[in-house]
Structure 1
Amino acid sequence: MTVKQLLSRLRRTADPADGTPRPDDAGFFATQLMDHEGDTQLLAPWQARASELGARPFDTVQGLALLQQWFHQDPVFAGLEGIDLGVLGGYFEFVQLDSGRQIIGQDEQGDYLVVLLKGVVADDRLQPSGAKVRINESRAGDVLGEMSVLDGGTRFCSCTALTPLIAAVLPSQALEAMMNEDPRLAAAVLAWLAKRLSLRLRQVSARLSVQLTRGGQAGE
């Protein structure tokens, strides 16, 4: 299995912060393991989505200060001696969004990730049965859409603003530019994203373990 294929499978492991199973978990986990390579992909580049959302520019200095609050908490960035994290402002786009806006659509092929700086977002997964599962409610410091940026795959779930938002958007082209122009900084950003993905994978693994255990007990 290639790295891209592995990341494509890991993309389907988005999970809430708690490990509590929900009523529709059985169907949820079943569809987690299904391949969707034959699905029609809806292209949703950031520039088009920003226009649809009515995204308004947010002050770069203030936005960068909010973003750095989260980066400075991670030891990965603490080791970047001699690098001004202010250069991040040149790669991220800081925006304000209204409540009720869908930032990311399920099964879209997007080219951007979003770091929430203020506000709350609902992460929902539409099941083949038509039921909608609330996977998580993301808050400041959480990242949305990173897997699609890393592996080029489709979005696992839809993400809709429950409150007005302030967000930092990183299009894939900007990430590629960072890798070429500021490789140490890009490596730190990727390591930060990888740690968050790893945490989500552990959470969904724990949740799946609980679900399988309950299923086994029910069949005894």
Structure 2
Amino acid sequence: MRSWFGSLRGAWPARERTGDGAEPGLFAAPQPGPGHEEAVMVPWETRATEIGARSIPLGAAIAQLQALWARDRNMSRLEAQDIAQMERFLRFVRVGSGRVVIHQHEFGNFMVVLLRGSIAVDRRQPWGELLRLAESRPGEILGEMSLLDSGQRFSACTTLTDCEIAVLPADGLDEMMGKDPRLAAALIALLARKLSLRLRAVNARLTDRPNQEAPHGTRSGQ
């Protein structure tokens, strides 16, 4: 039987704006337009093999996650013992530098928590410009939007140094919903809050460029 969260993801509408003016669903993932290659779902197991991820000791990784989230005003709402319980659902790995953990526009169903190192978050704009959105620090979460809706990735995440990360795949979150629904509900609420704050920041970053010209004389925000 599918978990409550799995059912919820499947129930979210995935329709896009059409010629008749229909609005996209709340968490709808944009589909490739004409002339674009069809994007495919890339699960964590596939990406882990591609980037040569290697497992790291669980005890030290959980201790690092607890220390990092204790300093985060949102994630600190999770008790240390709650974070320790996540050991059953997270994958803890080491990844070398220069590895693309998340590709822009692919469909994904996992999120990443950076434990050590630095990860660049970049977005290729429609007119070709590569925009550096952020350089993530330990404790930060990447890819939570696609974890929640299995939708298309907004940006690419590339390791700038050797990194240690914790990965929560969608099946891990579904398992958490079944075995520890209180913990899963708390985590989802915190992810939603962090996602809202991040989207506001990214929106401000992308729209605060009114004077930059795109090719052919069009404004970058148009």
TM range (shorter): 0.7 to 0.9
**In 2, Cα distance between equivalents of 1:101 and 1:205:** 26
Structure with the bigger percentage of helix: 1
Q: Which has the higher relative contact order, 1 or 2, with Cα contacts under 8 A spaced 6 or more apart?
A: 1
How many residues are aligned here? Answer: 188
Q: What is the match of residue 22 of structure 1?
A: none
The alpha-carbon distance between structure 1 residues 214 and 49, as it changes in their structure 2 partners (threshold 3 A), is: closer
Q: How does 1:1-220 map to 2 (within 5 A)?
A: 5-8=25-28, 35-36=30-31, 38=33, 40-73=38-71, 74=73, 78=77, 84-207=82-205, 210-211=208-209
Aligned identity (percent) is 43
TM, length-normalised to structure 1: 0.75
User: Any conservation in 1 of the 2:78–2:186 contact (CA below 8 Å)?
Assistant: no
The alpha-carbon distance between structure 1 residues 196 and 86, as it changes in their structure 2 partners (threshold 3 A), is: same
Ranges in structure 2 where 5+ consecutive residues have no aligned partner: 1-11, 15-24, 214-222
CA RMSD of aligned residues (A): 2.6
**In 2, Cα distance between equivalents of 1:99 and 1:88:** 26
| One-letter code aligned to 1:124 | D
**In 1, Cα distance between equivalents of 2:130 and 2:200:** 23
- How far 1:187 moved relative to its partner? 1.1
**In 2, Cα distance between equivalents of 1:102 and 1:76:** 25
- How far 1:107 moved relative to its partner? 1.0
- How far 1:207 moved relative to its partner? 3.6
- How far 1:137 moved relative to its partner? 1.0
The alpha-carbon distance between structure 1 residues 205 and 101, as it changes in their structure 2 partners (threshold 3 A), is: closer
Question: C-alpha deviations, 1:119-159, integer Å up to 9, x for none?
Answer: 11111112232221111111111111111110121111111
- How far 1:189 moved relative to its partner? 1.1
**In 2, Cα distance between equivalents of 1:159 and 1:78:** 26
Ranges in structure 1 where 5+ consecutive residues have no aligned partner: 10-34, 216-220
Question: C-alpha deviations, 1:41-91, integer Å up to 9, x for none?
Answer: 22211111111111010110111111112333446664769x643211011
